[in-house]
Amino acid sequence: MFLPMILNHVNRISTAAFNAIKIMEMNSRKSPYFTSEEESKSASPSKRQTRSGKRQAIRIKLDETTGGLNESANEMVKVKKVKKVAASVEENKADKPFLPENWDTVLHNIQIMRAKKDAPVDQMGAEQCADSASSPEVKRFQVLISLMLSSQTKDQVTFAAMEKLKKHGLSVENIINTDEDVIANLIHPVGFWKKKASYIKRTATILAAQYNSDIPQTVEELCKLPGVGQKMAVLTVNIGWKKSVGIGVDTHVHRIANRLGWTRRPTKTPEDTQKDLEDWLPRPLWDEVNVLLVGFGQQHCTPIKPQCSTCLNKNLCPVGRSLVEK
């Protein structure tokens, strides 16, 4: 009667020993993130990533003790969150016709590479542009304006323009009482500054007349405002109203999703990329994936000469593999 208990005990000890050896192996890596080449390899799966619609089991490779990370990175990465979300996908996978292989490992690697949160978007993104001491309505208006300014414009330039606008007084009422030329001068040199000055002025007038000087709560209504597109509207609701209504896909998210094979097939527009991503990426990750990928695109997976040789996903990403193998 004790034999099964003894065998079970022996089995547990073997598993613990195996895990301990695995962790020891992983603690010897070399890269900006790891301390030896071996660990870098161990972060990669053996299978090739594809865009096939084949349903796959989700394999969680994160170690709860160390996560395979150095200590500071380990503190910052939301390992448990990814595990929990990935588990929910396992439950729902029958409803998901497309699921990129190893997406959870790839995402986790990006979280590691972004652990310092020192990309321009982290310091100067839309969330950082609004005046935290303002009323909720004014903050939401400022989030909307910063996103309007950010199109075709670097975060640093948007941030500087927002500082000037806030100093001038960035509320619906103040903008209504400000000449368009003055707004244009304040926001110069953001991309399309003349057009944007006109959009901002007209938007403030509409908000005062139709929304009690607040901003609309839906993507549809926001898209009716002058100069507001889909990505802007989604991010405005996500950040301004703190409601997760979609994935904000800008040029960085669009490019990286295609490089990683996170779309069913190569997509031509950010809107198509958004649809594909929302089809399989677990909803609890929608909010964070925008900032995560935008910062990753600013620092690592840049439009030209991405840093594939030091990327933790170089063996998982089709582009990384092809560049590294050359």
Residues annotated as catalytic (active site), given as ranges = 231
29 strand-pairing partners: 37
Among 175, 308, 322, 326, binds ligand SF4 (CB under 6 A): 308
- Crossing angle between the packed helical segments 318-325 and 251-260, to the nearest 10 degrees: 70
Query: Which residues are paired to 30 by β-bridges?
Result: 35
Residues 262/266/268/272 CA torsion (nearest 10 deg) = -40
Distance of closest approach, residue 313 Cβ to ligand SF4, in angstroms:
4
Count residues near ligand SF4 (CB under 6 A).
13
* Contact of 45 with 56, CB cutoff 8 Å: no
**Stretch in the footprint of ligand SF4 (CB under 6 A) among 54-62, 175-183, 191-199, 313-321:** 313-321
Cβ atoms of 257 and 276 within 8 Å: the answer is yes
The residue among 254 and 314 lying less far from ligand SF4, judged by its C-beta, is 314
Longest dimension (CA), the chain: 88
Q: Residue 20 is inside which H or E element, if any?
A: helix 3-26
Q: Which stretch binds ligand SF4 (CB under 6 A): 91-99, 149-157, 206-214, 312-320?
A: 312-320
Applying CB under 6 A, which of residues 313, 322, 325, 326 lies at the interface with ligand SF4?
313
User: Binding segment for ligand SF4 among 92-100, 116-124, 199-207, 300-308 (CB under 6 A)?
Assistant: 300-308
Residue 291 found at the interface with ligand SF4 (CB under 6 A): no
CB of 23 to ligand SF4, least distance (A): 25
Please give the structure tokens belonging to residue 166. 């806030």
- Catalogue the E-assigned strands of 116-206: none
Residue 35: strand pairing partners: 30
Choose, by CB under 6 A, the member of 317, 322, 325, 326 that binds ligand SF4. 317
237 touches ligand SF4 by CB under 6 A: no
Provide the minimum distance between the beta carbon of 94 and ligand SF4 in the complex, in angstroms, as a whole number.
Answer: 29
**Distance, CA of 136 to CA of 215 (rounded, Å):** 10
* Residue 79 and residue 62 in contact, taking contact as beta carbons nearer than 8 Å: yes
Residue with Cβ nearer ligand SF4 (67 or 320): 320
Alpha-carbon distance 187 to 178, whole Å? 13
Window 81 to 120, contacts with ligand SF4 (CB under 6 A): none
User: Which one of 42-50, 125-133, 187-195, 305-313 is the stretch in contact with ligand SF4 (CB under 6 A)?
Assistant: 305-313
Task: List Cα–Cα distances, 250 to 9, 49, 241, 313, in angstroms.
Answer: 52, 24, 20, 21
Residue choice 172, 235, 237, 311 for contact with ligand SF4 (CB under 6 A): 311
Between 203 and 313, CB nearer to ligand SF4: 313
Using the contact rule CB under 6 A, the part of the chain among 25-33, 139-147, 180-188, 307-315 near ligand SF4 is 307-315
Q: Position of tokens 């695995």?
A: 22
Q: Interface with ligand SF4 includes 307 (CB under 6 A)?
A: yes
Closer Cβ to ligand SF4, 167 or 305, answer by number: 305
Question: What are the start-end ranges of the H helices in 151-250?
Answer: 155-168, 172-176, 180-187, 193-210, 219-223, 230-240
CB-nearer residue toward ligand SF4: 248 or 320: 320
The CB-of-274 to ligand SF4 minimum distance in angstroms stands at 19
**How far apart, in whole angstroms, are the C-alpha atoms of residue 124 and residue 144?**
14
Contact in structure between 283 and 244 (CB atoms under 8 Å): yes
Residues pairing with 37 in the sheet: 29
Which of 140, 259, 263, 289: binder of ligand SF4 (CB under 6 A)?
Answer: 259
**Of the candidate residues 68, 248, 295, 320, the single one contacting ligand SF4 (CB under 6 A):** 320
Q: List contacts with ligand SF4 (CB under 6 A).
A: 259-260, 300-301, 306-308, 311, 313-314, 317, 319-320
